């Protein structure tokens, strides 16, 4: 089955099929094993699955980053077909999603879009919320599937659903990692093999923080992580935060009754890699 460029074609197809649950896996393509797990989960839990492939310009604050974003549509379609031959692939033209030019909406997300990753990528989560809302309204999925590698994005989508009274339930999968521990990401394809291996420092730093969390002052943990990157010199540490898991507000001391997570971003030249893990 071919991929569809227009949502109206998908609506016509869905009218010919009987189903109880419609699942959506929104992607920007350049699929990896993390996406595979999302599509597999969607296919197991839903009678019908839509996988969207669209590099959303409204979530990029850097035009060079947008231009360099890896794309491999033919390989992506072949991979989706292997996972679920009956999956509906939506590879839209920009005009099927936006009136020209593509522009992000302005949502009140209670500030969760302006911290951590949002602090370094102005408007990024407004763009994410915009495209997710468009997809939800176009297809009215019962379930939508996201990875916890983009944990802040998951919280943004949950906030969007609540604010806009959208009738869709979010399902997540744990971060899928390479053998080195590096979180699977489409941006990993931009790195050479040795650099990709060296990027394991990102996950290793998170694991160190988790070991230190109960016995060390949080400022000392942050200093230790910062020094790791200063010594490594291959990757530049852009940020490292320890925050409460729901509000993403920074915390300064350990409380076993409060769920916390560590968030990190490191950069090799123009390539930014993000990750996060729960600390308790």
Active-site annotation holds for 35:
yes
35, 124, 216, 236: the active-site residue: 35
How many other CB atoms are there within 10 angstroms of residue 51's CB atom? 29
DSSP secondary structure string, the chain? ---BS-HHHHHHHHTTS--S-EEEEEE-SS--HHHHHHHHHHHHH-SEEEEEE---GGG-S-HHHHHHS---HHHHHHHHHHH-TTPEEE---GGGT-SSSP-------TTTTSSTHHHHSTTHHHHHHHHHHHHHHHH--SEEEEEGGGHHHHHHHHHHHHHTT---EEEEEPPPB-TTSPBP-GGGGGS-HHHHHHTHHHHHHHHHHHHHTTTS-HHHHHHHHHHHHHHH-SSEEEEEEEEETTT--B--S--TTS-EEEEEEEEETTEEEEEEEE--
Tell how far CA 182 is from the center of its chain: 15
Q: Which two tokens stand for residue 73?
A: 């549509």
List the catalytic residues. 35
């Amino acid at each position: 089955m071919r991929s569809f460029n227009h949502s109206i074609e998908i609506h016509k197809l869905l009218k010919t099929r009987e189903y109880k649950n419609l699942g959506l896996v929104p992607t920007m393509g350049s699929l990896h094993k993390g996406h595979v797990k999302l599509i597999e989960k969607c296919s197991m839990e839903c009678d019908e699955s839509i996988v969207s492939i669209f590099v959303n310009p409204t979530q990029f604050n850097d035009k060079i980053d947008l231009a360099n974003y890896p794309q491999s549509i033919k390989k992506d379609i072949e991979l989706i077909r292997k996972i679920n031959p009956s999956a509906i692939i939506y590879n839209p033209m920009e005009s099927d999603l936006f009136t020209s030019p593509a522009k992000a909406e302005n949502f009140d997300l209670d500030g969760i879009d302006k911290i951590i990753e949002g602090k370094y990528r102005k408007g990024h989560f407004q763009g994410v919320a915009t495209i997710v809302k468009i997809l939800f309204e176009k297809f009215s999925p019962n379930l939508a599937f996201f990875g916890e590698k983009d944990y802040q994005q998951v919280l943004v989508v949950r906030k969007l659903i609540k604010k806009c009274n959208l009738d869709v339930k979010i399902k997540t999968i744990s971060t899928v990692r390479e053998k080195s521990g590096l979180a699977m990401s489409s941006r990993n394809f931009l790195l050479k093999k040795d650099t990709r291996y060296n990027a394991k420092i990102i996950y290793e730093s998170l694991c160190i923080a988790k070991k230190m969390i109960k016995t060390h002052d949080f400022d000392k943990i942050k200093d230790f992580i910062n020094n790791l990157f200063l010594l490594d010199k291959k990757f530049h540490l852009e940020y490292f935060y320890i925050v409460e898991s729901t509000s993403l507000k920074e915390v300064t001391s350990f409380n076993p009754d409060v769920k916390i997570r560590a968030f990190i971003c490191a950069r090799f030249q123009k390539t930014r890699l993000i990750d996060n893990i729960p600390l308790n």
